[in-house]
Amino acid sequence: MNRKGERKLYYTGNGDSGFSYTLKQRLSKDSDLIEAIGDIDELQAFLGYAWSKTKEKDVKDIIEQVIYNLYLINAKIAGFEKKDFSEEETKILEKLIDSYAGKIKPIKKFVYPLGTESAVLLNVCRTLARKAERHVVKINGEKSILSYMNRLSSLLYVLYRYENEKNGFKDETFDVK
């Protein structure tokens, strides 16, 4: 409490015993649901970091929409959102993937995770999206959410490569042969 007797919004102390709360339940902080929510939160934070580093307005707009959709997904899996997550959002990601893939050189080899700061951050976000997807799969069977999480990492990979090309960084590739 502050001097006026108002509750502080930055901490509650409710989680001090290793439990967290969703709308419906009290859960151990190591539960699959809390892991999924935390992974999405971590992804959103890094997307914000990537947003701050890119100079591309179109990429900033995409990142903002993805962050918004991840809030909707977190609300849904935590039990706050009653309506289904729209499959249209996955179709939008697919259109973006196709559009940005058309702006970059095709590859047939593995690409080393190098490049400009904004590009590398998008690649980090790609790996975080994959991690979040693995936890979401454990706790949520809603096809629209699973499809969105799966496409998101593909979009982030294409944006990573787009950022590099746009800024003159040439991909370094690795051939497994």
Under DSSP, the state recorded for 11 is: -
Instruction: Kindly state whether residue 21 falls inside one of the protein's structural domains.
Output: no
Judged by DSSP in three states, 27 sits in strand
- Of residues 101, 110, 116, the one with CA closest to residue 163: 116
Flag whether 11 is in a domain: no
> pLDDT at position 175, please?
82
Does residue 14 form part of some domain?
no
Q: Into how many domains does the chain fold?
A: 1
Does residue 177 belong to any structural domain of this protein? no
Confirm whether 163 is domain-assigned.
yes
Q: Is residue 4 part of a domain?
A: no
**Owner of token pair 């947003």:** 51
| Closest CA relative to residue 72, chosen from 61, 63, 82 | 82
Query: Among 165, 64, 50, which Cα is nearest to 105's?
Result: 165
Residue 175 domain-assigned? no
DSSP-derived 3-state class of residue 15: coil
Residue 176 lies in a domain: no
Distance, CA of 55 to chain centre: 19
- Residue 101 zone, left/alpha/beta (φ > 0; ψ -120 to 50; rest): alpha
**73: containing domain:** 28-167
Q: Domain holding 123: CATH number?
A: 1.20.1200.10
For 101-118, the pLDDT digits (tens) are: 999 999 888 998 999 999
pLDDT under 50: residue ranges of the chain = none
